[in-house]
Amino acid sequence: MNFAFPALLALLLLLPGIILRYTYARGAWGWASPTSLRRISDELAYGIIFSLALHTVWLELMTALGFVPDMRTPLALLAGNFGPGNALLAPSLQTISDHYPGVAGYFLSLYAASAVLGNVAHRGVRKLRLDHRTKTFRFDNYWYYMLTGEVLRFRENAAGEEPDGVYLSAVVSHSGVSYLYRGIVTDFTFDTDGALDTVVLSDAHRRNLSDDRPVSEEPAPSYEEDPRYYIVRGDFLILRYAEMQTLNLDYFWLGEAGDDPASVPGDD
């Protein structure tokens, strides 16, 4: 028996938990939902715990359906110990070859069920807004919550209303000169590690950061009369997160006549 086989078997056994964690963290909506990817070491720990639970449930289910799982064979293969004189090796291999479709069916059905369960759990948490109510269910994606304004709905933030838009101001340096870029956040992307990569702004404008207005000076009556600002032409401006030095977010709400004046809600 190749020494790598127990490692391969361990991976096959851990995969349901890893799939469950991955699909739960990624969600089914892709960009429209907070994705969170932890380090492999963290995922492995969760994977072991969830795999144990999933295998227990699946084995019980198989037993209830009339299939009697042979636990000795996988344990012997996993340990790489087949008793004195490898007496259990031949029966173990025979069991697998005799029940190959059943073994494959067990793993494939468990993998599929884990993926479905992860997606359903993600949807459930988002639908019921459990991630807003408690940190236990909160996805490990700080920027998603900040840039969509969902952070305002967190219980610790008095569960306020989600804003209609987010106005971003960021300091970005070009050739040693710092500029203040401002615009409305319309989208953002994450890199393969799940970290914020770019922020997409619409109606972007900028000015030189050194053109700060003194505190004592009255602001210009309108921005058209404020020569410091320069409208960035184009539909969208994409700012790389790595190039931003300071970030400021303004949340804003748009109420319409007929809305409750005490609370200017969003559209959701």
Residues within the interface to other proteins (CB under 8 A) = 32, 146-149, 151-152, 162-165, 167, 169, 171, 180, 182, 184-188, 202-203, 205, 212-213, 219, 222-224, 226, 229, 244-257, 259, 264, 266-268
Closest CA to 183 of 167, 207, 162: 167
Q: CA dist 187 to 3, 47, 93, 238, Å?
A: 49, 32, 54, 9
Would you say 5 or 223 has its CB closer to other proteins? 223
CB of 204 to other proteins, least distance (A): 10
Matching residue, tokens 């992860």: 118
CB of 67 to other proteins, least distance (A): 46
Identify whether the C-beta of residue 223 lies closer than 8 Å to the C-beta of residue 196: no
Looking at the DSSP bridge assignments, the partners of residue 184 are: 167, 202
Matching residue, tokens 């900028």: 206
CB of 124 to other proteins, least distance (A): 19
Would you say 76 or 180 has its CB closer to other proteins? 180
Query: What's the token pair of residue 103?
Result: 């073994």
Our measurement of the distance from residue 233's CA atom to the centroid of its chain's CA atoms, rounded to an integer in Å, reads: 33
CB of 236 to other proteins, least distance (A): 11
- In the chain, the amino acid numbered 3 is F
Would you say 115 or 171 has its CB closer to other proteins? 171
H or E element: which one contains 124?
A: helix 100-127
Would you say 22 or 251 has its CB closer to other proteins? 251
**Three-class SS state of 9:** helix
CB of 265 to other proteins, least distance (A): 10
Would you say 42 or 211 has its CB closer to other proteins? 211
